[in-house]
Amino acid sequence: MIVISYIEWSDDTIKQFRRTLLTWYDENKRDLPWRKDTDPYHVFISEIMLQQTQVNTVIDYYLKFIEAFPTVFDLAQAPEDELMAVWQGLGYYSRARNMQAAAKQIVLDYEGHWPKTAKELEQLKGIGPYTSCAIASIAFGEVEPAIDGNAFRVFARLLKIEDDIAKPKTKTLFYNIVKKIIDPDRPGDFNQAIMDLGSSYMKAKNPIIEQSPVYEFDASGQEGTYLDYPVKTKKKPPQKIPYYAFVIKTPTGYLLEKRPQTGILANFTMFPLIKKSDVEKEAIVDYFKANYSVELAHIEVDDSQKVTHTFTHQQWQINFVKADLVRFNNANFIEVNEKELYQLNLSALQKKMNNILA
DNA sequence: AATACGTGGAC
DNA sequence: TGTCCAAGTAT
């Protein structure tokens, strides 16, 4: 049996670590728009946006979002197209829908008053173990460690934790370890300090370990093995899938498809996309008529241009097919003119295709 | 437990 | 270009 072990700190070391970390944080914390106060709505919006998304990307979206929806009541009442207008381009679009569902829960179930514990917050849509602890600690001072990618990396390096962070079980181990280390007097600042540390001196690539304010506590740093941490099994590369995107001309513009309510790029209006493996070149007209009640003419497969769009788990390799619309009878398809094609709420992929055709 | 779910930046 | 990363959650 393999025994996986890690460095354990004495109570004294833990106290010194807290003091060192928070002293550094007080003098060097990043000036971010969501750090101007600890309003739970502000913390909530920023934490949802920051899921799997870099700080630099989030800043502009956050400012626009708070301007458009200043309170949880505004968000709860927002029309979906206005919500998506602000979110478009940020990715992971179910976050936006779940966020509004959570806002409705706050308004309807809690009369606008946020619950103050991680346990209650985790019951809200889109709020999981990390986000619930982040909001509870930052907005309400609950002593809960927020275990995100930064916390995994920072504590794996400091304590030489060998467990694979890709495994769900490992999150519990880190939670229990950090629960003993987190500062009970300043839990929100402690969590945010770990994140600032993890995105600067202890970032994943090109860290500056020797200059780190907590170098004296850094076991892997001192022995020069910090790049071995955290231990994480590799994900399999995205599956390559060839697609056709259909640029269907109508007398006044283009024919677009409203995508299904579930799955990738749900609800977005886009050029119809069909896997090449689902249709032979010669059978495209029949395919559209049989599956969509859309009649096409003047099919022209264009192999000269290719758009590649990589998602987390799929890479779409897209060629265009140009065609003219004869008629259609399908509520999931809509005609848009040239102007509307650029004004709709669009995914990054559709914008990429628009730019290539422009 | 394993997979679906976006995007843009860094090297 | 390929690969990995960035404040995860839902199923």
DSSP at A320: E
DSSP at A234: P
Using C1' positions and the CA of A124, the closest nucleotide is: C9
How far apart are alpha carbons A139 and A128 in whole angstroms?
16
Residues 104-163 of A with CB under 7 A from strand B: none
A176 or A357, higher pLDDT = A176
Q: Which helix (H) or strand (E) holds A304?
A: strand A294-310
How far apart are alpha carbons A117 and A17 in whole angstroms?
26
pLDDT at A2: 57
- Nucleotides in chain C near protein beta carbons (<7 Å): 2-10
A209 touches strand C (CB under 7 A): no
CB-based burial of residue A85 (10 Å sphere; 0-12 exposed, 13-18 middle, 19+ buried)?
middle
Q: Which residue is nearest to nucleotide C5 (CA to C1')?
A: A204
A311 touches strand B (CB under 7 A): yes
- For residue A295, count other CB atoms closer than 10 A to its CB: 15
pLDDT at A261: 93
pLDDT at A3: 59
CATH number assigned to the domain covering A11-228: 1.10.340.30
CA A205 and chain centroid, separation: 20
How would residue A85 be classed by pLDDT, with cut points 50, 70 and 90?
A: very high
How would residue A309 be classed by pLDDT, with cut points 50, 70 and 90?
A: very high
Does pLDDT of A200 surpass 70?
yes
3-state helix, strand, coil in chain A (%, to 5): 50, 15, 35
Backbone angles phi, psi at A126, to 5 degrees: 85, 0
pLDDT at A352: 95
A289 or A339, higher pLDDT = A289
What average pLDDT score do residues A97-123 get? Answer: 98
How would residue A310 be classed by pLDDT, with cut points 50, 70 and 90?
A: very high
Query: Across the strands, what pairs with A334?
Result: A256
Task: Say how far A54 CA is from B6 C1', in Å.
Answer: 12
A137 touches strand C (CB under 7 A): no
Does pLDDT of A257 surpass 90?
yes
What average pLDDT score do residues A199-215 get? Answer: 96
R_g over Cα of chain A: 25
pLDDT at A319: 95
Task: Say how far A54 CA is from C2 C1', in Å.
Answer: 21
Query: ∠ CA(A213), CA(A218), CA(A221), 5° rounding?
Result: 100
- For residue A89, count other CB atoms closer than 10 A to its CB: 13
- For residue A167, count other CB atoms closer than 10 A to its CB: 12
Cβ pair A290, A329 in contact under 8 A? no
Task: Say how far A107 CA is from C9 C1', in Å.
Answer: 22
How long is chain A? Answer: 358
A142 is annotated as an active-site residue: no
Residues 194-223 of A with CB under 7 A from strand B: 205-206
A89 touches strand B (CB under 7 A): yes
Q: Tokens 């979110």 appear where? A: A87
Buried b (16+ CB within 10 A) or exposed e, A188-207: bbbbbbbbbbbbebbeeeeb
Task: Say how far A66 CA is from C5 C1', in Å.
Answer: 27
Task: Determine which one of A8, A27, A47, A162 is catalytic.
Answer: A47
CATH number 3.90.79.10 given to A239-357: yes
Task: Say how far A212 CA is from C5 C1', in Å.
Answer: 21
A98 touches strand C (CB under 7 A): yes
Does pLDDT of A190 surpass 60?
yes
Residues 213-232 of A with CB under 7 A from strand C: 232
Using C1' positions and the CA of A171, the closest nucleotide is: C8
Residues of chain A with CATH 3.90.79.10: 239-357
pLDDT at A287: 97
Does pLDDT of A37 surpass 90?
yes
Does pLDDT of A332 surpass 90?
yes
Q: Which residue is nearest to nucleotide B6 (CA to C1')?
A: A91
Cβ pair A107, A73 in contact under 8 A? yes
Cβ pair A209, A201 in contact under 8 A? yes
- For residue A107, count other CB atoms closer than 10 A to its CB: 17
Q: How many CA atoms lie within 13 A of A112 on its CB side?
A: 6
pLDDT, tens digit (0-9, with 9 covering 90-100), for A114-171: 999 999 999 999 999 999 999 999 999 999 999 999 999 999 999 999 999 999 999 9
